[in-house]
Every structure is written in C-alpha cells, then in structure tokens.
Structure 1
Amino acid sequence: MDEMEAKAAPRGRPVPVPDETSAGFWAAAARHVFTLARCSACGEMTFPPDVTCPHCLSTEPEFRFEPASGRGRLRTWSTIHRSFLQGFETPYILADVELVDHPEVRIVARLLDCVEAELRIGLPVTVAFEQLREDVAVPAFRLETGA
C-alpha cells in the first residue's frame, strides 16, 4: 500500500452521493487524485464547490476540477470520542488543514494514523485516500513523514 492509500474503511460507513456540482471531484477522488474547484466566473479556487461561488457570489458558476498537491499545514483539530455516524471507529481526529499551494482554501477531513499527543499547529500533512468501496474514495490527511 503506498502513501496515497489508506486501509479500507469499516463496513457501514456513509458513502458520498455526488451531485451535478460535485461529480468531478468525486470521480477524481475515486482515482486518488486530489482536486479543487475553480470558478469559471472569477477564477478562484474553492472547496467544496457549491451552487454559489463564495468569492464572487456568482449564482451560476461552472466549476473546473484541477489537481492540487494535497500538501498542507495543520491549523487545528478535534478528537471525536463519540461518533454520531455509523461506521466510524472512535476515537478519530478531524483536522482543519490549510493547503500549501492554495492557502485561502481550508479542508476539514480525517487525520489518519496518529494520536492527538503527536499533534501541534503547523505540522505538515499530505492527502491520503480512504477507500470506502472499490469505486469510492474520500480524501483524508496523514502527517508527512519526518514531521
């Protein structure tokens, strides 16, 4: 298993349901490619894409999904001790990550394979993917090795 792959997720875990706006993102994630959405109206990157661009407030944006490095820095985190969603083994860590190549974009996702005691603000992280089904993967993050 390489750095971009995580072990298969527990059974019963919720699976994303792509819609017209997010389908490109989830198709790339299934291939373990991390992408961000670029608004056709203003050119700014955003995550997640929505029906309105958060930068220019266009109500008819078309989003292009472009690969991003997936490297970031830990801004903050929360350890979840009681999950209200089926399929998540507790405890797990939700991380707020600022992307290195797009610092205006923040991602909240699971932080894999670490314990809270190892964490501090600013630690470098990199995207990884949790394989939920053969055709569905969701982005998560790991601490960069040597951090």
Structure 2
Amino acid sequence: MSALRPVPVPDARSAPYWEAAARHVLVLARCGRCAAFAVPPDQTCPHCHASDPDFAYEPVSGRGAVRSWTVVRQSALPGLSETVPFVLVDVELDEQAGLRMIGRLLDGPGVSLRAGDRVRGAFEEVAPGVAVPAFMLDDAS
C-alpha cells in the first residue's frame, strides 16, 4: 500500500490561494498599498514594508522563465517516494521582476532544461479536490 501524498493545510491567509488552485487558477497576493505581488504573503509587504498590506489575491498567468532547477532523487516524505525522481524549477514569473515561485516541472525528470527556458503554469492533483500549482515547458519556447 502506498502512502498518501502530503496535502496543503490552508490557514486564513492562504485559503484563497488553495481554493483557486483547486479550480486550476493561479492567484497571488498583491499588496493593497504598493500593488506589488508577494509570494508568499507575510505580515508586512516585502516591497513597501507596509505593516498593513491589505493583500488581495489576483489571477496571474503562471508564465515565466526558469532561473534554476534541481532533480529530486529521493524523498523522506511519505507519499512522495513513489514520485521520484522529479524536477523542481525556480521560475521568475512574467508579472513582476524578481517575482519567483518554485514548483514541480510536470514534463518529467528526463527533459532537457536551460536557464531562461519558458514555462507556463499547470496544476497537479494531489488528492480529490486538491491541486498544487506546478509548471510545464511552454511549447512556444
């Protein structure tokens, strides 16, 4: 019997993110003071340092460029040992300079990657009604 995959446990701050992901919509928190995105949102805005950033979640494209990546070949987490090897990519999203997200590359561990390769947002179903943002190589690149 295989172990169950880890699933996110939303809190009040992250619930809108995970609810949108379940619908396969990528949303990120945008500061209500300076309009910059923050991943993940915190008590203060990392850009304008407002202590009352009034973050609101807004849809983003999920498109961006690969900055770096790693191939995960072993996992001590229950439920992930059946999925190795897999590739994690560090992506700078198009919406804002320096806006980075890390996610699984769904194209598989054998894919050829270079810094700057274009990716698009995708989603990985990890449990019924639970999806995690991920990436796929953009066919246009």
TM-score by length of 2: 0.89
Partner of 1:47: 39
In the alignment, is residue 84 of structure 1 matched against residue 84 of structure 2? no
| CA displacement, residues 2-36 of structure 1 (integer Å, 9 cap, x when unaligned) | xxxxxxxx851111111111111111111100111
Equivalent residues of 1:92, 1:111 under 8 A apart: yes
Stretches of structure 2 lacking an aligned partner (at least 5 in a row)? none
| CA displacement, residues 87-138 of structure 1 (integer Å, 9 cap, x when unaligned) | 2221111100011222321001111123355111111101110112222111
Q: Distance in 2 between matches of 1:102 and 1:87?
A: 34
In the alignment, is residue 126 of structure 1 matched against residue 126 of structure 2? no
In the alignment, is residue 62 of structure 1 matched against residue 54 of structure 2? yes
In the alignment, is residue 19 of structure 1 matched against residue 11 of structure 2? yes
Q: What displacement does 1:53 show?
A: 1.5
Read off the aligned partner of 1:46 and give its amino acid letter.
Answer: A
Q: What displacement does 1:76 show?
A: 0.3
Residue correspondences, number: 138
Among the aligned pairs, what percent are the same residue? 49
Q: Distance in 1 between matches of 2:126 and 2:84?
A: 17
Q: Distance in 2 between matches of 1:46 and 1:54?
A: 7
SS in 2 for 1:118: coil
Read off the aligned partner of 2:52 and give its amino acid letter.
Answer: E
Q: CA RMSD in A?
A: 1.7
Stretches of structure 1 lacking an aligned partner (at least 5 in a row)? 1-9
Equivalent residues of 1:41, 1:58 under 8 A apart: yes
Equivalent residues of 1:79, 1:116 under 8 A apart: no
Q: Distance in 2 between matches of 1:84 and 1:65?
A: 33
Runs (4 or more) in structure 1 with deviation over 6 Å come to none
TM-score by length of 1: 0.85
